[in-house]
Amino acid sequence: MPAEGRGKRVALALGGLAVGLAVLASASQLVEHLEERELVQTTRPDDRVQFVDEALFVRRGDAWETTPYAHGFAVPARFAAEKGDRWRMFALGGSFMMGTPYVDQAHGEERPGGIPGFLRAQLQALAPDRALELINLGAGAQDSHRVLRIAEQVMEHQPDALLVATCNNEGVLAPSRLRELLHRQGGYRLLARLLTDPGATGRSLHTPQDPDLDALRDQLQANIAAIIALCEAHGVPLFLATLPQNLRYTGLEQGHGAAPGQVHEPGEDPCVQPARTLVEQGRPAEALASLESCDHVADALRWAGLACLQQGDHQAARAHLEQSLELSPRNRCRGSFEDDFRAQAAAAPGVFLVDLQRAAERASPHGIPGDELFLDSCHMNWQGYGLMAEEAARVILASGHGPPGAAGMESLPQLDALATGMGLTEAMLSPEFFPQPPAREPGGRLPPGSVPPGPPPIGNIGPPQGHP
């Protein structure tokens, strides 16, 4: 074929490709425009684990506000466009940081009961004359990869400090950079949504676990290292938290209130059922004997730990329960991962460890956290969240990077008095499970008029028996 003919064909092919790309780009922009007007929804629930596809904040007048996209997973937030002398902290992490189940984006507002709310009130009480902004960017199910992407956007808004608590949702390896870039295109997201079964029935309550534990650990370390480097580059102090874990967790009967038909908790291996029954009957020695023939190590260790606890062997109980968690985290941060956090914080200037796991241990009988602080495997009751906020406040003030002019911890109001002032009153407590937020439309948005009024849904709470 003559060179001139080949050149024309190449030119035609390139022209056709350019036209095709232009059509796809236009279609993608149209989809994004329709999504901005809430006429179409492209984001799947699973997308909120790892992807950040759009801006989280938009300027409206004299303030930055969360975008409609952000409302799908985070509570609404508003902070000054002109920072002035305000002290500003962003709190990043998963549903633990958000404050589940007290705080949920479906409520249409940030209700009291979570760490950010308590910490905001505590710091404001210690620095009453200082304008203070603490923005809650916790979101359910998101892992450290997504938290990193959120931290990148947060740096555009002049934070004085970052509080990061992420680890409970580790289990899935991060998407490639190419897939992230494609996922920011509305057309790509819409196509992915159309090709995915929209039903959530049968979805596991707990994050799936990639079998390559070393890869998960390396990925988490890399994400935390990237957040540390980001803060260092912007001169922002980082308060890096370990996550407290309910070592005595036995299942959803403790009050998680998962929506029926939407998620399920994986059942235990049948070989542990006799041991479970024996422990519930107060026969720990027989339970331990029955577990000797059980091949499911994680479940066997869990019930062996609970049997040892009944026998008063607290050291053995703790060892068994920690080993079980390492093998089967159930949306809890592995102890080995938290050890990595401690090492990373110790090695990096400008990073301050907020060891919430150790704080929970100090507030628990025999140093083994359970339902005196927790409602399920990783979410706390309001007393638990309040105690964790106190620990964060202590570290923030000791670092010298807290609100200027703040008083010392000795001036901190008692937790019960603070909770009452925030609207967490005795009249709002009940032994019932937490009510479910209104059913959401696909993508997480609420139907018009469905935001529930009134006080935050609080239930299944008792005083933390181990709190000194």
Give the C-alpha separation, 262 to 42, whole Å: 20
Confidence at residue 372, expressed as pLDDT on a 0 to 100 scale: 94
Among candidate residues 253, 311, 252, the one with its CA nearest the CA of residue 279: 311
pLDDT at 42 over 80: no
Contacts (Cβ under 8 Å, ≥6 apart) of 195:
none
pLDDT at 225 over 70: yes
pLDDT at 231 over 90: yes
Confidence at residue 456, expressed as pLDDT on a 0 to 100 scale: 31
Among candidate residues 325, 315, 324, the one with its CA nearest the CA of residue 368: 315
Give the C-alpha separation, 452 to 460, whole Å: 20
Confidence at residue 37, expressed as pLDDT on a 0 to 100 scale: 62
What's the rounded mean pLDDT across residues 192-207?
58
Give the C-alpha separation, 233 to 68, whole Å: 30
Partners of residue 65 on adjacent β-strands: 58, 78
Both structure tokens of 432: 């019932």
Task: Check: CB of residue 88 under 8 Å from CB of residue 160.
Answer: yes
Confidence at residue 106, expressed as pLDDT on a 0 to 100 scale: 87
pLDDT at 446 over 50: no
Confidence at residue 438, expressed as pLDDT on a 0 to 100 scale: 37
Contacts (Cβ under 8 Å, ≥6 apart) of 339:
none
The residue ranges of DSSP E strands in 346-396, in sequence order, are: 351-355
- The mean-pLDDT minimum among 173-177, 213-217, 408-412 falls in 173-177
Confidence at residue 30, expressed as pLDDT on a 0 to 100 scale: 60
Give the C-alpha separation, 454 to 440, whole Å: 19
Q: How confident is the model at residue 349 (pLDDT cuts 50, 70, 90)?
A: very high
Digit-coded pLDDT (tens) for 288-346: 999 998 988 999 999 999 999 999 999 999 999 999 999 999 889 999 999 999 999 99
- The mean-pLDDT minimum among 104-118, 205-219, 341-355 falls in 205-219
Sign of the CA dihedral running 358, 362, 364, 365: positive
Region label for 38, one of left (φ > 0), alpha (ψ between -120 and 50) or beta (otherwise) = left
Q: How confident is the model at residue 40 (pLDDT cuts 50, 70, 90)?
A: low
Where is pLDDT greater, at 455 or 132?
A: 132
pTM of the model as a whole: 0.80
Confidence at residue 141, expressed as pLDDT on a 0 to 100 scale: 83
Q: How confident is the model at residue 455 (pLDDT cuts 50, 70, 90)?
A: very low
Please report where in the chains the tokens 């969360």 appear, as a residue: 66
pLDDT at 28 over 80: no
Q: How confident is the model at residue 462 (pLDDT cuts 50, 70, 90)?
A: very low
Digit-coded pLDDT (tens) for 396-440: 999 999 999 999 999 999 998 898 888 875 544 443 434 443 343
AA letter at 414 = Q
Give the C-alpha separation, 89 to 71, whole Å: 19
Confidence at residue 110, expressed as pLDDT on a 0 to 100 scale: 92
Partners of residue 92 on adjacent β-strands: 137, 164
AA letter at 204 = S
Q: Report phi then psi at 180, rounded to 5.
A: -60, -45
> CA-based angle 80:84:89, to the nearest 5?
60
What's the rounded mean pLDDT across residues 4-28?
55
pLDDT at 265 over 60: no
Query: What is the separation, in whole angstroms, between the first and last Cα of the chain?
Result: 88
- The mean-pLDDT minimum among 12-16, 206-210, 459-463 falls in 459-463
Greatest mean pLDDT among 164-173, 239-248, 374-383: 239-248
Where is pLDDT greater, at 5 or 312?
A: 312
Output the average pLDDT for the chain.
Answer: 80
Digit-coded pLDDT (tens) for 352-370: 999 999 999 999 999 999 9
Give the C-alpha separation, 359 to 115, whole Å: 14
